[in-house]
Amino acid sequence: PIVIENTRVCTDLKGSFRISNYNATYNYVISPSVDIVQNADIVIAPVGSYIITALVNGCYSDNSSITINSKIC
C-alpha cells in the first residue's frame, strides 16, 4: 500500500493518513493497531510509527511505513 500523511491540527492528539491506492476488496493490516480507526482509505491513529500491509487472496503485499509526528502548537 502507498500511504500519505494528512495534516494534524493542534486540538487533536491523533493524526491521520490515507492509503492512496486503497481497494475495498483488500484487507489492510496496520501494526501496531492500538487506538487505530480505519474508515475505508482513511486511518486515524495516535502519534507513532506504523506498518501497513495489504492482504489479497491470501498473499501479503510489501510493507509500507509511516510516522505520525507530534505537533507543537
Cα(17)–Cα(73) distance, integer angstroms = 20
Question: In this structure, is residue 34 part of a structural domain?
Answer: yes
Domain that holds residue 7: 3-68
**Residues 50 and 30 sit within 8 Å (Cβ to Cβ):** yes
Residue 19 is part of a domain; what is its CATH number? 2.60.40
Q: What is the pLDDT of residues 17-69, one digit of tens each?
A: 889 899 999 999 999 999 999 999 999 999 899 999 999 999 999 999 999 88
Q: Please state the domain count of the chain.
A: 1
pLDDT given for residue 31 in this prediction: 96
Question: In this structure, is residue 58 part of a structural domain?
Answer: yes
pTM assigned to the model: 0.81
pLDDT given for residue 11 in this prediction: 64
Question: In this structure, is residue 51 part of a structural domain?
Answer: yes
